[in-house]
A and B are shown apart, each in its own frame.
Chain A
Amino acid sequence: MARAEAAAAAENDVEHRPANGTNQDPAAAARLKAFYRDMLLIRRFEEKAGQLYGMGLIGGFCHLYIGQEAVVVGMQAALKPEDQVITTYRDHGHMLACGMDPGGVMAELTGRASGYSRGKGGSMHMFSKEKNFFGGHGIVGANVPIGTGLAFANRYKNNGAVCLTYFGDGASNQGQVFESFNMAELWKLPCIYIIENNQYAMGTAVKRSTSEVHMYKRGAAHNIPGEAVDGMDVEAVYAAGRKAVEWARSGNGPYILEMKTYRYRGHSMSDPAKYRTREEVQQMREQHDPIDTVGVRLVRDGIVREEDLKAFDRDVRQIINRAAEFATESPEPGPDELYTDVLK
């Protein structure tokens, strides 16, 4: 959605000329506005998912993306529709960024027949072939060779597509990640590895788990270029994403982007939050929030007015409320679904 909306906005939506006389590029202004809306959609979706979990309507594990929205929104805008995305289990934001329907995602969270996996996958296992979203994988690090394989298929078919393979700081210590790096560079596969470094693997801080905390250096032993990016700044993410995508698409092989980001909520819903201080979370929220900072920028540069931001929020809340309604009113899968989709 981000890429489609941003592109459409760039072409059509130029009514908000900079009011303060700055020479803001209208395409960039429209893009920033689309970023704001897309990030807000993820934020409100996740808040609603948290509510529904609290009400017992969503079960099991549920990992919220709140705080990290700039990463997927910025990266997605750097893609073409034929490019692929794959990630681990903190995946709701990625799906929305890929343009998957919030109602279908929410209905999967509530385990209903109208969910993307007909209620058989849940929060961690969702896919959309149509949107080139390849999951949603529950095993930390296991998606990394799979993403590398999607990139392998791109090169094999010579179709010009790239694969964005997301994983966390925790997964980056898995052996299969290094195995993937080695093969990706060896065979020059068009794969962009995005390490979403939100500082904690569950409750273990990066410095307590990782000998070299600068994870963008992880590719050095394999000759893969890497870069650290302020993952709380959507424009920085977009700029880095474009560069990395261009690198991989041109046949230079893989690229590593370490996104310095932060999750506000617990690892999953049942997180006692004993491993970091309240003040640390508050400080990130108040000073680095990826949505608020863009909101301030939009108003400051005269791209939108304060009231417009409120209107965005109303629109987004409406979309999310409709998704929640859909997700709670849809029926559970029929009992006959138990035995379907085991084999083709």
Chain B
Amino acid sequence: MTQILMPALSPTMEEGKLAKWHVKEGDAVKAGDILAEIETDKATMEFEAVDEGRIAKILVPEGAEGVKVNEPIAELTQEGEVSDAPPARAAAVAIKVETPAAKAPLPVAPKSNGHAAGLEIPEGVEMVTMTVRDALRDAMAEEMRRDDTVFLMGEEVAQYQGAYKISQGLLEEFGERRVIDTPITEQGFAGLGVGAAFGGLKPIIEFMTFNFAMQAMDQIVNSAAKTLYMSGGQMGCPIVFRGPNGPAARVAAQHSQDFSAWYAQIPGLKVISPYFAADAKGLLKAAIRDPNPVVFLENEIVYGRSFPVPKMDDFVLPIGKARVIRQGSHITLVAHSISVGLIMEAADVLAKEGIEAELIDLRTLRPLDTDTVVESVKKTNRIVTVEQGWPVCSIGAEIAAVVVDQAFDYLDAPPLRITGKDVPMPYAANLERLALPTVDEIVAAAKSALYRN
């Protein structure tokens, strides 16, 4: 004897109406026959037999409303059936939903675990000046030399030598097996990269700019970032998505925008956005070696800037660590990518007025090194964040929330945010200037936080 239970016909159904019986007591049924029509809040659905047998008894009459899911509605006898399983005694299988929250304390999110092994620049190392562009190229070349599974793929990365010349010379050194020009097909080659990473390779996927990566967003978020979790730790996706991010110059709304906050929100990704050449090199090498998907946000305008880089055989930096680039006691200025240049300029202006700003380059946006920021605020009691992205749900908004949460009693002024304006990027030169953060705005915000207007 098997009890036929009121079925759940949708993810949210708790009860339903037994609208109509298609069988009566004594009827023989086989798998697939319609037994009844069930009415739910969404639709009327037919309910099929899954086993052969004979309807022995109908327990719930036609028209009954509010029949709870799992309530026995009929009994089925199965001829000659070797009743070999508890699920045949369906009603006996109770739904055991544990409520661990009542017994155990709620799980606590671990402290950010993005700190890979790596060094800051050791003292006494010789420094050479190079552009961010060359630092990025060297990082890729060095990693490709040490690991044959690393390859570079993207639009114009090979024969054209990179739309922004980041991959200059790589085709000549590594050949077309490892430096691969793709068709213009972002979703396709981003997904192909994810598959190659599942297949044991370490792809570097270059987006000509991150504006075009929106076409590949599903592959980055749903396929690359989540598969480790969804596989219970079996899989993993060691891939780097890199390219220029943030406003360029005079290219208007579709080609001039900062996606930092978008990617920084996604669990399962690491997000890096450096300013200096040494960080670009040390962090890109770390990103290529990292077993997780890493979004590496560069900046087109910064590519040509030159900075000192340590002359070392293997210079790898830890992901997830901000850097205090200038000590100060009056106010903390926080930025990443090209905005680091702005806070450096602002600090010089402020210094002339006797205000000593402490400058923090976030370098990594996920995991965000909030410890370094909070420590600084405990010392300076004031903070201004600067970024080119839009203000709503921005990196600055996150930092302000963390500071208010973790250093509220230390604050002598509200945290302030300087961001790109809340508009699509205009084309006209004057409007574009207005849409972007400026040194003047930063200086004014800092003085306002110090009540010195």
Enumerate chain A interface residues (CB-CB to B < 8 A).
Answer: 47-48, 50-57, 59-61, 84, 86, 115-121, 125-129, 134-139, 142, 144-154, 156-157, 175-176, 179-180, 182-183, 186, 264, 269-273, 278, 281-282, 285, 314, 317-318, 321-322, 324-325, 328, 331-332, 334-336, 338-344
Q: Which of B46, B69, B87, B268 contacts A273 (CB 8 A)?
A: B46
Would you give the 0/1 interface string for B355-381, flagging 1 where the beta carbon is closer than 8 Å to chain A? 000000000000000000000000000
B223 pairs with A137, CB closer than 8 A: yes
Q: Which of B100, B197, B234, B270 contacts A127 (CB 8 A)?
A: B234
Known contacts A156-B151, A175-B187; can you find 6 more A-B pairs with CB under 8 A?
Answer: A51-B50, A54-B5, A60-B11, A116-B234, A142-B223, A343-B270
B351 at the interface (CB under 8 A from A): no
A183 pairs with B195, CB closer than 8 A: no
30 A–B contact pairs at CB < 8 A?
Answer: A51-B87, A52-B87, A55-B93, A56-B8, A56-B70, A115-B232, A117-B231, A117-B234, A120-B232, A126-B231, A129-B235, A136-B230, A139-B222, A144-B191, A145-B188, A145-B219, A148-B195, A149-B196, A150-B195, A152-B201, A153-B200, A154-B199, A157-B200, A269-B10, A270-B45, A335-B100, A338-B107, A339-B107, A342-B267, A343-B268
Contacts of A331 in B (CB 8 A): 98
Docked CA distance A344–B270 (Å): 11
Given the contacts A139-B222, A142-B222, A183 and B183 also touching, CB distance less than 8 Å: yes
B198 pairs with A146, CB closer than 8 A: yes
How many A-B contacts at CB < 8 Å in the complex? 239
Question: Which chain B residue shows the least CB distance to A84?
Answer: B199
B86 pairs with A149, CB closer than 8 A: no
Docked CA distance A269–B40 (Å): 13
B230 pairs with A117, CB closer than 8 A: yes
Question: Which chain A residue shows the least CB distance to B14?
Answer: A56
Q: Which of B31, B90, B230 contacts A120 (CB 8 A)?
A: B230
**B contact patch SS:** loop
Docked CA distance A271–B182 (Å): 41
Contacts of A340 in B (CB 8 A): 233
Contacts of B199 in A (CB 8 A): 84, 149-150, 152-154, 157
Q: Which of B183, B191, B233, B235 contacts A145 (CB 8 A)?
A: B191
A339 pairs with B201, CB closer than 8 A: no
Docked CA distance A271–B43 (Å): 9
Question: Which chain B residue shows the least CB distance to A278?
Answer: B34
A344 pairs with B8, CB closer than 8 A: no
Question: Which chain B residue shows the least CB distance to A281?
Answer: B32
A61 pairs with B90, CB closer than 8 A: no
A57 pairs with B93, CB closer than 8 A: yes
B210 at the interface (CB under 8 A from A): no
Min CB distance, B31 to chain A, in Å?
7
B331 at the interface (CB under 8 A from A): no
Min CB distance, A193 to chain B, in Å?
13
Question: Which chain B residue shows the least CB distance to A333?
Answer: B232
Q: Which of A125, A135, A179, A325 contacts B85 (CB 8 A)?
A: A325
B79 at the interface (CB under 8 A from A): no
A272 pairs with B50, CB closer than 8 A: no
Min CB distance, A34 to chain B, in Å?
23
Given the contacts A180-B188, A182-B185, A138 and B222 also touching, CB distance less than 8 Å: yes
A146 pairs with B183, CB closer than 8 A: no
Would you give the 0/1 interface string for B181-224, flagging 1 where the beta carbon is closer than 8 Å to chain A? 01101011111111111111100000000000000001100110
B431 at the interface (CB under 8 A from A): no
B107 pairs with A336, CB closer than 8 A: yes
Contacts of B129 in A (CB 8 A): none
Given the contacts A137-B223, A341-B228, A269 and B234 also touching, CB distance less than 8 Å: no
B123 at the interface (CB under 8 A from A): no
B109 at the interface (CB under 8 A from A): yes
Min CB distance, A271 to chain B, in Å?
7
Quick one: which of B98, B114, B185 has the most chain A CB within 10 A?
Answer: B185
B146 at the interface (CB under 8 A from A): no
Min CB distance, B191 to chain A, in Å?
3
Min CB distance, B231 to chain A, in Å?
4
Q: Which of B151, B188, B291 contacts A179 (CB 8 A)?
A: B188
Question: Which chain B residue shows the least CB distance to A270?
Answer: B10
Contacts of B195 in A (CB 8 A): 86, 134, 145-153
Min CB distance, B285 to chain A, in Å?
17
Q: Which of B87, B223, B232, B235 contacts A325 (CB 8 A)?
A: B87
Contacts of A86 in B (CB 8 A): 195
Contacts of B218 in A (CB 8 A): 139, 142
Closest 3 CB pairs of A and B: A149-B195, A145-B191, A153-B199
